[in-house]
A and B are shown apart, each in its own frame.
Chain A
C-alpha cells in the first residue's frame, strides 16, 4: 500500500513507525543486525575506541588497588570529588531507560516501543559504571562487602541503617536488579525469534537456551503481559526513589548547598533530563548507521526533546530555588555558599551549567531546532556536559569552603581521576556496542504490535 501523500509544511506529527512495514519487514530489519555474519566496519571502530578506554579503566583500577586512592585528587575538605560526581552522573543517565520502559508504558505512550530496549540496556550499563565509583572509592573494595551489605560476619558488625549511604546501596542494587529482570523479560520473545531465524546451529542453540523455550503460547503471553505491566508498576516508584535516595546522600547532611528540601524532585528531574540526552546521543548515530529511520522516527526525536525541555526547566527551577533560599533563609553560611558558587573560584563552572541547563535548552522550544538532527546531537552532548558540571558544582563548591575557613582548600582532579572517568565511558561504550551487535537493539515483538497487520478486525463481534 502506498503511504498517503503528506503535506510538507511540517505541522504534521510524524508517525511512530514509517508506513508500509509488516511483521516480517520489522523483524528482518532489527533481527538482521544481530544475525548477519558481516559486522560493519564502523562497529569495529566504535567498539575499538570504547575498548581502548576500557583498558585505561583496567590500568586505573589496577593502580588504584596497588597504590590506594591517593592517586586521585580528593583531599580533606573535598572528600567526595570525582567519585560521587561521576556516580551521580551515571546513575542519573540510567533513569531515562526506566522512565521509557516503565512510566511511558503505564501512560500508554506508544512511541516508547522503538526506543525502550536500548534505553534499558543503557540503564544497565550506566548503573554498572556508576556502581564502580563508590565501590572503588572505599579503596579496598574487597572489604566493602561488610561495610555495605548486611550479612552475618565473624566480627558481628552490621551496616548503619540510619545513614543515607546505606540507603543508597539498597536503592542502587535494587534498581540494578529490577532493571536487569525487566530487560531480560522483555528480551525473551525476541530471543525466541532469533532462535527461529538463526541459520547456524551454534547461534540457534545459544538463543535457544537464552529464550527459555519461549513458544508464544497465548497462556504464556497472558501472564507475560501481566508480569510486564506489574514490573512497570513496580519500577515506576522505584526509579523515582533511586535518585531521591541519591539526593538524600546530600540533603540529609547539614552542609550548606546540600541541605535542601528541593533536592529529591530536582535530582529526579535532572536524572531524567540527562538520561534523555544520553538516549538521544545513542539514538541519533544508531538510527543513522543502521538505517533505522523508519523505526526511530522524527516523532521520537521530537518527543525526547520535549521531555528534555520539561525536565530541564524543572532543573532550572531547582537552581532558582537554591539561590532563593540561600537568600531567604537569612543563614549566613547558605548565603556565603551561594555567593561563593556564583563568584568564587569555580564560578565559571556554575555559569556554564546555567548557560546550558537553563538557557541553551530554551532552543528546544523551536521546531526548527527539533528537526535538526545534527544540532540535536551536539545539544544532547552539551546537556550531559551541563549535568556533569551540575554535580561538580554541587559537590565541590559546597565542600571546598565549608564552615571552618582554616580547612578551606581547592580541589583539582588528577590524571587518574580523568582516566577513571573516561575509562567508565569506555566500559559503557564497549558494552553498548556488544549489545547492539549481539542482541536486538529494538524490541522486535513490541514493534510487531504497532504495524498495521497487528490490528484486529472487530466487525465480527456483536
Chain B
C-alpha cells in the first residue's frame, strides 16, 4: 500500500464532490433540506368551508376545486416569500394557465385586501383562514405552499416555498398537463 497517503485526499475529494452536488441541487431548487413530503399526496383534499376574503358573507370550500385541475396557494400579507412568488402567479393568471385558489393564512383581512390591491390579485378567490385551522388540515407548515389538486379533488403535489418560473416549468407544468389528460 504505497499510495496509502492518498486516502485522506480521496476522502476529501469525495466529500467535496458530495457537498458541491447537494449545494447545486439546493441552488436549482431541486432539493430543500427542510422540505417535508406531504402526507396527503393522492388523498382527497381536506374539506373545508371558510369565508371568502373579499365577500365575508360568502363561503369557499372544497367543492370549488372539483371538476378542474387547480392550484391552491397558501399565502399571507406578512409572508416575504409570498411577495417573491407573487409576480409569477400574476403571470400565470394573465396567461390563464390554471385557476389559482388562495388560502389567506393567519392574516388580518384588511392587510390581506391591501396586499392584493397593491400587488394585484391572481386568485379566482381566496379563503380567509384567520385561525390557521384549515392550514393544519392541509398539513401546512410554512407559507407559501402550493398544492396541485386534480379534477377529482385529490391532492397530487405539494410544493413548499416560492414558486418560480424555473420550478414551474420543471415540476408543475408537466404534472398539470398529465392531470388534464386524465379522465375527470
A complexed with B: no
Report which A residues bind B (CB closer than 8 A).
Answer: none
